[in-house]
Structure 1
Amino acid sequence: MSNQEKGFPISHIVGFLLSITFTVVALLVALKTDLPKTTIMFVIGGLAVLQAGLQLIMFMHLNEGKDNYSKIIHTVYAIFMAVVIVIGSIWVVTAGHSIH
């Protein structure tokens, strides 16, 4: 066990507080601003990407340990699959509406 594992998990607390902050900011932007809907969606999407990156680093320990090349390959593949699923879902939903 390293010294960091034995001590107070300050990085986990900072990561948790940042995650809460990103979520609250997204909520406030969505509910309390008069920005155009497109802008709100981009802000929420940007905050979601930041939060995902934060959680990969702080909680999934992506930057720790050996074999970082393998971790990067798996992470890129997971991101690719998530993008394909989201874009495919949007495509299927919008294609269904254009049939009428």
Structure 2
Amino acid sequence: MSTSESDPRLPADVLDEMEDHAPGDEPPEEGSHWVRNANYGLGFSILLTVGAFLLAGSNIIYTPAIPVALIVLAIAQMGVHLVFFLHITTGPDNTNNVLALAFGILVVFVVVLGSIWIMSHLHENMMPMDQLMKMQP
């Protein structure tokens, strides 16, 4: 029995914070929550960007490992954008968002990998330039 059923003073459409809510029935959040999240995201994004520039321009880590470190920072940057700006979480009401994101990533990988495959295939089957020049009249 929920609090709204047991307490006649509460209106029926007011949700108690302790109740289990269906997606879309959450109580409205105050505006400061969104501003605080955006500021946290902005701060993390700035730290990751500055860290990437400092890492690339210094000798903090072993030089051949710099591309790997930059890739890790880029993935962290994408995670910050997804969570703080696009509000993609693992909650039950975000299943469609996560599936759409996964499909978008799949399409990007198919396009990029397919383009690389086509270009490498063309490169292997292309006639060398000196032979091509000999064929011209």
Fold match by TM threshold 0.5: yes
Residues 6-15 or 46-55, more deviating: 6-15
Q: Which residue pairs with 1:42 in the alignment?
A: 68
Answer yes or no: is 1:7 the counterpart of 2:41. no
Q: Which runs of 5+ in 1 are unaligned?
A: none
CA RMSD of aligned residues (A): 2.8
Which residue of the other structure, out of 50, 56, 67, is the alignment partner of 1:24? 50
The CA distance in 2 between the partners of 1:45 and 1:78, in whole Å, is 20
Give the structure, 1 or 2, with the largest relative contact order (CA under 8 Å, sep 6 or more): 1
Which secondary structure state, in structure 2, belongs to the residue aligned with residue 3 of structure 1? coil
Q: How far 1:97 sits from its partner (Å)?
A: 6.4
| TM-score normalized by the length of structure 2 | 0.56
CA separation of 1:89 and 1:30: change in aligned 2, threshold 3 A: farther
Q: How far 1:86 sits from its partner (Å)?
A: 3.9
Flag the structure with larger Rg.
Answer: 2
- Kindly indicate which of the two structures has a greater share of residues assigned to helix: 1
Q: How many aligned residue pairs are there?
A: 97
Q: Which residue pairs with 1:79 in the alignment?
A: 105
Which secondary structure state, in structure 2, belongs to the residue aligned with residue 2 of structure 1? coil
Residues 20-29 or 79-88, more deviating: 79-88
The CA distance in 1 between the partners of 2:41 and 2:80, in whole Å, is 7
Q: How far 1:73 sits from its partner (Å)?
A: 0.9
Q: How far 1:52 sits from its partner (Å)?
A: 0.6
| TM-score normalized by the length of structure 1 | 0.73
